[in-house]
């Protein structure tokens, strides 16, 4: 009897201690070394005992914040952050007299700019030749990385695993190259402020997995496309599964904006991509409760096997999403040296072009030209097509000094032939002796098309077609 009583007492005491110690818990993204968004109300959140009260003390301000958890033990707090700086600490301490819980101190916290990076393998690519060149000098205490661990889930998750780390030779080897070069450029142009980069990527994954399944289910075109996903044994394939486990669990975290590099896995279903991309952007903004800017990379030329045009159609769908509010697109048709490699090695220019978008449109830096030219209008005059573009104030040039390439022209017979091209300051004029009455022009509208035409500022023209004719399989 005494032995049973003693065992019961030990168990009771153990449970009491466990309950006390476990009062305040935090997600892994709220931890030492994190970067919080400057000049904002950054969100902290976690779990505790039911209705637990505690205080949050941030070392950058005198006043403390008092928080009370819900009756199921969830809590959330918005903490005002100053201009960029650090390092700082945050201390969380329970207020209960009956269940005293130990304080939690978060150390080495920086305040700066925070961006989310997502997509498939080209965003995930790390340790390429450009990164390896800079590794010996990679140490940068003002740049921090958080890499969300790969995980899929049928239902929304509250917790995603990962760890905030400081940029150094070892951590940079495993982080997004494009993301790093984006962050480095922004940091340099913004006065070496702290930069926090959150990477949530999974190679080979289609966009359907990165947005709520309810978005896909809400539209018959998206629903049809999702039903055509080819099942792979090495990755999930169900709509919403990566959103549930790798985006939603971090959606309380306060970010400045998001970067997206994905699309190769959706080329067989390009007809639905514009809707899917717009739907995903809207769903993310709703989840984060933040109308943040969204900048993305148009997929590169590649020799897709099933069709001559599936990549071109996906590029076209991506370009159409530029009409969605607060978006921007980087074109990289000039950064590819091997169209048989799905993973172009040049990620430095990709990241820096994304950075130019952010610096100009998010941070208000005065950059005269920072985007690729987009076709505005076409007029037919005396058997020639005059093409007018945005974002080419000084006209055009060829990268190699040769004749302009990848312009095709057709009459009403829909037979496209290579065009003769004249680059002028305010327009591009295309024609062909074989097309007396042109009605349509295409530019770089083929899976593996790499044109040599750039704006004078060095940005490739966004691939386009002026027709809406049916594309052959």
> Is residue 345 over pLDDT 90?
yes
Q: Which of 110, 141, 171 is the last residue of a domain?
A: 110
248 lies in a domain? Answer: yes
> Is residue 17 over pLDDT 90?
no
Say how many residues make up the chain: 473
Is residue 294 helix, strand or coil? strand
Measured between alpha carbons, how far is 200 from 236 in angstroms, rounded to an integer?
15
Q: Which of 340, 362, 384 is the last residue of a domain?
A: 362
Q: Do 181 and 90 share a structural domain?
A: no
User: Residues 252-281: what's their mean pLDDT?
Assistant: 98
Percent of the chain exceeding pLDDT 90 equals 88
Question: Could you tell me the pTM of the whole model?
Answer: 0.93
369 lies in a domain? Answer: no
Q: Do 122 and 105 share a structural domain?
A: no
Q: Do 216 and 80 share a structural domain?
A: no
How does pLDDT run across 301-338, given as a tens digit for each residue?
A: 999 887 889 999 999 999 999 999 999 999 999 999 89
Q: Do 298 and 409 share a structural domain?
A: no
> What is the chain's mean pLDDT, rounded?
93
472 lies in a domain? Answer: no
> Is residue 2 over pLDDT 80?
no
Q: How confident is the model at residue 14 (pLDDT cuts 50, 70, 90)?
A: very low
Are 421 and 403 spatial neighbours (Cβ–Cβ below 8 Å)? yes
- 197 pairs with which residues across the strands? 115, 145
Per DSSP (E only), the strands in 310-418 are: 327-330, 374-381, 384-390, 396-398, 407-410, 417-418
Q: Do 117 and 99 share a structural domain?
A: no
471 lies in a domain? Answer: no
> Is residue 200 over pLDDT 60?
yes
Q: What is the CATH number of the domain that holds 84?
A: 2.60.40.10
- As for how many domains the chain has, the answer is 3
Q: Do 173 and 141 share a structural domain?
A: yes
Q: Which of 110, 143, 158 is the last residue of a domain?
A: 110
- 392: containing domain: 374-465
How does pLDDT run across 77-110, given as a tens digit for each residue?
A: 999 999 999 999 999 998 876 666 678 999 999 9
432 lies in a domain? Answer: yes
The two tokens of residue 404 are 């302009």
The packing angle between helices 220-227 and 273-288, to 10°, is 100
Q: Do 58 and 172 share a structural domain?
A: no
User: Residues 118-138: what's their mean pLDDT?
Assistant: 96
């Amino acid at each position: 009897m005494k032995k049973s009583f003693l065992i019961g007492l030990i168990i009771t005491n153990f449970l009491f201690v466990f309950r006390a110690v476990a009062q305040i818990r935090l997600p892994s993204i709220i931890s030492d070394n994190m970067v919080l968004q400057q000049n904002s109300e950054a969100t902290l959140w976690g779990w505790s005992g039911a209705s637990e009260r505690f205080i949050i003390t941030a070392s950058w301000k005198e006043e403390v914040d008092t928080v009370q958890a819900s009756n199921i033990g969830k809590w959330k707090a918005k903490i005002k952050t100053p201009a960029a700086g650090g390092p700082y600490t945050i201390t969380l301490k329970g207020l209960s007299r009956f269940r005293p819980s130990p304080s939690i101190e978060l150390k080495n916290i920086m305040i700066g700019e925070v961006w989310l990076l997502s997509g498939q393998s080209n965003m995930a690519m790390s340790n390429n030749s450009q990164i390896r060149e800079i590794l010996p000098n990679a140490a940068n205490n003002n740049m921090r990385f958080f890499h969300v661990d790969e995980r899929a889930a049928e239902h929304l998750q509250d917790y995603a695993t990962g760890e905030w780390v400081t940029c150094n030779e070892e951590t940079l080897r495993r982080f997004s190259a494009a993301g790093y070069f984006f962050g480095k450029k922004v940091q340099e142009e913004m006065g070496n402020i702290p930069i926090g980069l959150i990477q949530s990527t999974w190679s080979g994954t289609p966009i359907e997995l990165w947005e709520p399944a309810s978005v896909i289910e809400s539209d018959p075109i998206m629903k049809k496309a999702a039903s055509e996903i080819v099942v792979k044994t090495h990755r999930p394939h169900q709509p919403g599964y990566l959103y549930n486990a790798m985006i939603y669990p971090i959606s309380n975290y306060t970010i400045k904006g998001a970067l997206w590099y994905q699309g190769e896995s959706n080329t067989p279903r390009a007809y639905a991509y514009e809707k899917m991309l717009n739907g995903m952007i809207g769903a993310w903004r709703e989840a984060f409760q933040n109308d943040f800017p969204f900048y993305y990379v148009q997929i590169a030329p590649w020799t897709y096997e099933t069709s001559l045009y599936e990549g071109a159609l996906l590029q076209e769908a991506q370009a159409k999403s530029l009409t969605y509010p607060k978006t921007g697109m980087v074109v990289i048709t000039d950064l590819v040296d091997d169209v048989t490699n799905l993973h172009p090695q040049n990620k430095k220019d990709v990241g820096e072009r994304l950075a130019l978008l952010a610096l100009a449109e998010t941070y208000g830096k005065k950059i005269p030209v920072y985007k690729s030219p987009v076709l505005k209008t076409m007029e037919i005059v005396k058997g020639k097509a005059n093409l007018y573009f945005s974002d080419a104030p000084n006209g055009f040039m060829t990268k190699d000094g040769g004749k302009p390439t990848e312009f095709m022209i057709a009459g009403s017979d829909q037979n496209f032939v290579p065009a003769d091209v004249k680059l002028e300051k305010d327009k591009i004029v295309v024609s062909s002796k074989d097309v007396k009455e042109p009605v349509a022009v295409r530019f770089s509208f083929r899976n593996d098309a790499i044109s040599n035409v750039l704006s004078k500022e060095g940005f490739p023209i966004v691939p386009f077609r002026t027709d809406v004719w049916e594309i052959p399989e």
